Amino acid sequence: MLLIPAIDLKDGQCVRLKQGVMDDATVFSDDPVQVAAHWRDQGARRLHLVDLNGAFAGKPKNLAVIRDILGEVGDELPVQLGGGIRDLDTIEKYLDMGLSYVIIGTAAVKTPGFLHDACDAFPGQVIVGLDAKDGMVAIDGWAKITNHKVIDLAKRFQDYGVNSVIYTDIGRDGMMNGVNIDATVKLAQALTIPVIASGGLSNLDDIRALCAVADEGVEGAITGRAIYEGGIDFAAAQTLADELSD
């Protein structure tokens, strides 16, 4: 079970949002590069970056700090990034900078042809991010609930060749009230590619619950607010996950 620290970037700072609301941001550091180095030193084996400004603008907005983060840790651990990735040129630019995986979310739902092309052009390096509420996919910063069932879309994108699926229960993200284990497992069981859980991770009991279902295809979990506010000691949590996964 891979625990993946999240670094959400807004105006060059490391922040966390509650339920995706840009105006409800808590700033945790004005030096995201130092934050990335900290999680590396704590034993992280992958990092999750989000360009929040980019997600809302539809194009990269935190390029300089992303480049600096990759310069600091990119040679030592894989880094995945989402937010504002809408064309193949942007993907190529990020991968050339040293990014390991790009995450395509809203654009995958709105323009599935783009996701298909990205998987063809950059095999093994495209992750799809699906945000859902009550099993239905949400887009546009969670402002709109579509009529797409998350399992149906995930199966289609699996056929395109995506590396894995990041599944976020938007009712729980940033609220620290537990991971939606049942929905995550249900999705993982429907797929042959790995699922990464996101949203709601709050304590070691959540880690134990996720490790118990790792064999169903749940590869890892992204953690944000809990590791910044002290609800989870990251190094201890990853050690626990390793012990439970042996």
Q: What is the pLDDT of residues 205-242, one digit of tens each?
A: 999 999 999 999 999 999 998 999 989 999 999 999 99
Catalytic residue among 51, 75, 131, 173: 131
End-to-end C-alpha distance for the chain, whole angstroms: 10
The torsion region of residue 211 among left (phi > 0), alpha (psi -120 to 50) and beta comes to alpha
Task: Provide, rounded to the nearest whole percent, the portion of the chain with pLDDT above 70.
Answer: 95
Query: Across-strand partners of 197?
Result: 167, 221
Q: Residue 52 — very low, low, confident or very high, per pLDDT cuts 50/70/90?
A: very high
| Residue among 212, 227, 129 nearest 176 (CA) | 227
Mean pLDDT of 127-133: 93
Instruction: Provide the pLDDT for residue 19.
Output: 61
74: which residues sit within 8 A by CB, 6+ positions away? 97, 98, 99, 100
Give the separation between CA 26 and CA 18, rounded to whole angstroms: 9
Task: Classify 65 as helix, strand or coil.
Answer: helix
The arithmetic mean of pLDDT across residues 20-42, rounded, is 91
Query: Of 62, 73, 140, whose CA–CA distance to 100 is shortest?
Result: 73
Q: Which helix (H) or strand (E) holds 109?
A: helix 106-110
Per annotation, catalytic residue among 8, 51, 173, 206 = 8
The predicted pLDDT at position 180 comes to 87
> What is the per-residue pLDDT across 150-200, written as a single tens digit (0 to 9) for each?
999 999 999 999 999 999 988 655 555 678 899 999 999 999 999 999 988
131 catalytic per annotation: yes
Q: Which of 129, 135, 81 is nearest to 107 (CA)?
A: 129
